[in-house]
């Protein structure tokens, strides 16, 4: 009897170990909405849907700031994160000797090093949070590729700067309707800019070998770079691709969202605007990949297929998705959990940022009761 009891005990322990491993692989982490609604006051002429956001914590002053881009004003507004008050306006001329072009994005490296990216031209500018000076840097765009792509809204692309070298996302500038899967698979996805010389070098990372092997999907992807490496999330690929350290061999990690089916829809290649808009607004896909340095996790946004009753819904749906999911992944790209959001959430998922306390998602959805025209407003979500 004692021997049998020992066997039963060992089997029980083994089963419990395997059970724990299975639970860890499936992931149990979730995001929960707090009562905290962070608001930042705007003037009457500034939209409450930002064209670019970045939270920045200054270690020297021990203060946090929120930077927000207004493209229509060619202006970056700087808010005190604690009080929500506007503390600085960085307004830039588009033309002339001091012109920086029409701004499409920015990146705050330090308070004395704010990088500005115009929507055209192979140049960028460096200023500071007081706009005391502006330095222009021209760089050589690699043949066949586009200018540096930096974004915090749709298909977010966060760069990384170290030792005067800037790592950025890029897109191949050829005709995506005619190239083959084999041709796409050798197109690079990022390059490094030497801010002193303006020279650039393509990194080894390319599109996945089989991205168009089954169906021709949208070619966009989200990109984020950190001290330890870089990661990519493509529109129609369940895998996450990453290099650690930067420019080491790319690894693919399975990370399928439970909210998405395994069948991808083909990108309409014709000139029918309605069909293309419908594709972007309603077909299943992945969106932003955002790194949270405070909790050392990634957030991957996924959007399940939705059905529409009439075409008048398309424009609103393309800008404000009715349903989405946020995957939580470890720094090694292991899926820790996933949080689905129903259409009742009424969030503006292109306006999202990470702060010390957690993930902030805009409530400035046109149908949200919390949407106030004169405020940037964000609900705080915490990881548990």
- Summarised one tens digit per residue, pLDDT across range 285-321 is 999 999 999 999 999 999 999 888 777 678 788 888 8
Which CA distances in Å does 13 have to 7, 18, 23, 25, 345?
A: 10, 9, 15, 19, 42
Residue 145 DSSP symbol: B
As given in the structure block, the two tokens for residue 273 are 């605007």
Per-residue pLDDT reduced to its tens digit, 214-268 = 999 999 999 999 998 999 999 999 999 999 988 899 999 999 999 998 789 999 9
As given in the structure block, the two tokens for residue 166 are 């800037």
Q: What is the pLDDT of residue 344?
A: 62
* Residues 154-180, mean pLDDT to the nearest whole number: 95
> Can you give the CATH number for the domain in which 155 is found?
2.120.10.30
Q: What is the pLDDT of residue 312?
A: 67
Nearest to 238 by CA among 210, 269, 266: 210
Q: What is the pLDDT of residue 310?
A: 74
8 Å CB contact between 153 and 218: no
Q: 8-22, 73-87, 271-285: which range is least confident on average?
A: 8-22
Per-residue pLDDT reduced to its tens digit, 31-77 = 999 999 999 999 999 999 999 999 999 999 999 999 999 999 999 99
Confidence class of residue 23 from pLDDT cuts 50, 70 and 90? very low
Residue 18 has pLDDT above 80, yes or no: no
Residue 218 DSSP symbol: -
Q: What is the pLDDT of residue 24?
A: 32
* Residues 334-349, mean pLDDT to the nearest whole number: 87
Q: What is the model's pTM?
A: 0.90
As given in the structure block, the two tokens for residue 311 are 């075409």
Residue 342 has pLDDT above 90, yes or no: no
Q: What is the pLDDT of residue 240?
A: 97
Domain that holds residue 163: 2-383
Helices (H), 131-214: 181-184
Q: Give the count of domains, the chain.
A: 1
* Residues 153-181, mean pLDDT to the nearest whole number: 95
Q: What is the pLDDT of residue 115?
A: 98
Q: What is the pLDDT of residue 343?
A: 62
Give the C-alpha separation, 117 to 158, whole Å.
12
As given in the structure block, the two tokens for residue 2 are 């004692």
Nearest to 142 by CA among 100, 189, 182: 189
Residue 156 has pLDDT above 80, yes or no: yes
Phi, psi dihedral angles at 295 (to 5 degrees): -115, 0
Give the C-alpha separation, 244 to 248, whole Å.
6
Number of other CB atoms surrounding residue 258 within 10 Å:
12
Give the C-alpha separation, 250 to 20, whole Å.
30
Q: What is the pLDDT of residue 313?
A: 74
């Amino acid at each position: 009897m004692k021997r049998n009891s020992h066997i039963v005990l060992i089997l029980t322990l083994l089963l419990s170990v395997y059970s724990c491993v299975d639970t860890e692989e499936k992931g149990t982490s979730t995001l929960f909405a707090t009562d905290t609604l962070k608001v930042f006051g705007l003037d009457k002429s500034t939209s409450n849907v930002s064209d670019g956001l970045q939270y920045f914590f200054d270690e020297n002053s021990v203060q946090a700031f929120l930077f927000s881009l207004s493209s229509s004003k060619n202006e970056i507004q700087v808010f005190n994160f604690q009080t929500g008050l506007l503390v600085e306006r960085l307004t830039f001329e588009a033309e002339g000797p001091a012109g920086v072009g029409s701004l499409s994005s920015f990146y705050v490296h330090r308070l004395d090093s704010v990088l500005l990216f115009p929507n055209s031209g192979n140049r960028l500018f460096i200023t500071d949070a007081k706009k005391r000076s502006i330095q222009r840097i021209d760089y050589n765009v690699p043949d066949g590729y586009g200018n540096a792509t930096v974004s915090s809204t749709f298909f977010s692309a966060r760069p990384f700067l170290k030792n005067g070298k800037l790592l950025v996302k890029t897109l191949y500038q050829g005709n995506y309707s005619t190239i083959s899967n084999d041709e796409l698979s050798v197109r690079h996805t990022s390059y490094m800019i030497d801010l002193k010389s303006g020279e650039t070098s393509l990194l080894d990372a390319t599109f996945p070998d089989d991205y168009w092997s089954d169906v021709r999907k949208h070619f966009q992807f989200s990109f984020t770079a950190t001290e330890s490496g870089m990661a990519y999330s493509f529109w129609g690929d369940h895998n996450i691709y990453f290099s650690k350290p930067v420019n080491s061999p790319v690894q693919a990690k399975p990370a399928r969202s439970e909210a998405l089916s395994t069948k991808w829809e083909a990108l309409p290649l014709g000139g029918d605007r309605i069909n293309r808009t419908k594709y972007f607004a309603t077909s299943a896909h992945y969106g932003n990949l955002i790194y949270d340095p405070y909790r050392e996790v990634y957030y991957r946004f996924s959007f399940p297929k939705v059905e529409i009753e009439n075409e008048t819904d398309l424009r609103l749906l393309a800008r404000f998705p009715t349903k989405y999911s946020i995957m939580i992944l470890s720094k090694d790209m292991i899926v820790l959990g996933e949080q689905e959001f129903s259409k009742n959430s009424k969030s503006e998922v292109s306006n999202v940022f990470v702060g010390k306390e957690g993930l902030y998602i805009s409530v400035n959805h046109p149908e949200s009761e919390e949407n106030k025209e004169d405020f940037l407003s964000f609900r705080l979500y915490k990881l548990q």
